[in-house]
Amino acid sequence: MCGATGLGKLSRQLFATPVRWCNGSTELFGGFSHGSNPCRTTNIPQQNEVLVDSRTNPAQILAESEPQKMKFPKVIRHRKAEVTIYGKKPNYPFYRIAYRVAGKRHLRNFSKYTEALKEAEKKVRELAEGSQADALTAVQSRDALVAFQRLESLQKSIGRRVSLLAAVSEFAEASAKLQGRNLSEVVEIYQKTIASVNRKNVSEAVEEFIANRKPLTEAKAGKRAQLSKNYAYMVGLWLRDVAKAFPSHAISDLGKEHLNLFMQKFGKQSPKSRNHYRGAVKMFLSWCVIPL
């Protein structure tokens, strides 16, 4: 009985508390030597308890990366750009970086000072280069990326580059003039009514116009002529003067500045004579436009 009792006691001592193995002997068997691991036996439950406490207290983790004797706020500068780093507070154990983009203040939080410093140095260089990306919301950023993709496709189709600013500016200007009408609808209407221009020399067009009006000067049986021969002759003279003034021009090349230059040589004539010239030119140009 005594032997059994002694054996049971020894068993409880051996297995009641688990210990780590070491290369020396253990204190449990009386005299011991440290061997290659000069330490006491490890108390596992006590060590586990410390680890749990450290994981549940974020302030203890942050303290490991906290800079020594650092004064806050700390300003990071690059050229004219600035980013400010704020230290953590008792009621807010995080580092913050602050900067302004497009007049708005932005804040970001970091658990470690090294992370906050790294991001601040990166951001201050972006701001110095003119980056305004942080001024956009997530939806605006996605829209901008899609817009750039559309512009790339447009560049391939028309062969020239169009910036996003130019595209938006032109659209806004056109929309304001349309007064609420859809731009695509107006473009379709324009494509249906646009004139087809055939280039023809001014002198050739003038002679064709004169020949086209000649039958109107001839009277039919029992009827008067639709156009006076004398008037048709004078109009022909006036228009031939126009053709001589622009010998190498096509009708489609003539503009207001050309006609004003032509009329200057009649400055000494009476207003009535100048009006005859203007009337003849207007009639001729109206004839050149064939309605669709």
Highest-confidence range of 38-42, 58-62, 102-106, by mean pLDDT?
Answer: 102-106
Mean pLDDT, rounded, of the chain: 76
Indicate if the pLDDT at residue 291 is higher than 90.
no
Task: Kindly indicate the confidence band of residue 110, based on its pLDDT and cuts at 50, 70 and 90.
Answer: very high
Rounded CA-CA distance 192/196 in Å is 11
Cβ atoms 57, 38 nearer than 8 A: no
* pTM beyond cutoff 0.85: no
The sheet carrying 104-110 orders its strands as 74-78, 81-86, 95-101, 104-110
Instruction: Give residue-wise pLDDT tens across range 184-206.
Output: 888 888 777 765 667 888 999 99
Cβ atoms 89, 110 nearer than 8 A: no
Task: Kindly indicate the confidence band of residue 101, based on its pLDDT and cuts at 50, 70 and 90.
Answer: confident
pLDDT at 164: 87
Rounded CA-CA distance 81/123 in Å is 9
Rounded CA-CA distance 69/143 in Å is 45
Residue with tokens 């036996």: 41
* Alpha-carbon dihedral sign for residues 264, 269, 275, 276: negative
Indicate if the pLDDT at residue 177 is higher than 80.
yes
Task: Kindly indicate the confidence band of residue 157, based on its pLDDT and cuts at 50, 70 and 90.
Answer: confident
Task: Kindly indicate the confidence band of residue 13, based on its pLDDT and cuts at 50, 70 and 90.
Answer: low
Rounded CA-CA distance 79/84 in Å is 14
Rounded CA-CA distance 7/15 in Å is 12
Give SS3 for 187: helix
Give SS3 for 290: coil
Task: Kindly indicate the confidence band of residue 12, based on its pLDDT and cuts at 50, 70 and 90.
Answer: low
Indicate if the pLDDT at residue 160 is higher than 60.
yes
Element (H, E) at 227: none
pLDDT at 211: 92
DSSP assignments along 254-284, one per residue: --HHHHHHHHGGGTTS-HHHHHHHHHHHHHH
pLDDT at 96: 92
Indicate if the pLDDT at residue 241 is higher than 80.
yes
* Mean local confidence (pLDDT), 265-276: 83
The closest alpha carbon to 98, from 89, 110, 90, belongs to 110
Indicate if the pLDDT at residue 44 is higher than 50.
no
Rounded CA-CA distance 194/197 in Å is 9
Q: What's the Rg (C-alpha) of the chain?
A: 47
Q: What whole-number percentage of the chain has pLDDT above 90?
A: 13
Rounded CA-CA distance 159/113 in Å is 50
What domains are there in the chain, each with its CATH number? 17-55 (no CATH), 64-135 (no CATH), 138-193 (no CATH), 202-288 (1.10.150)
Mention every residue, 6+ apart, whose C-beta is less than 8 A from residue 230: none
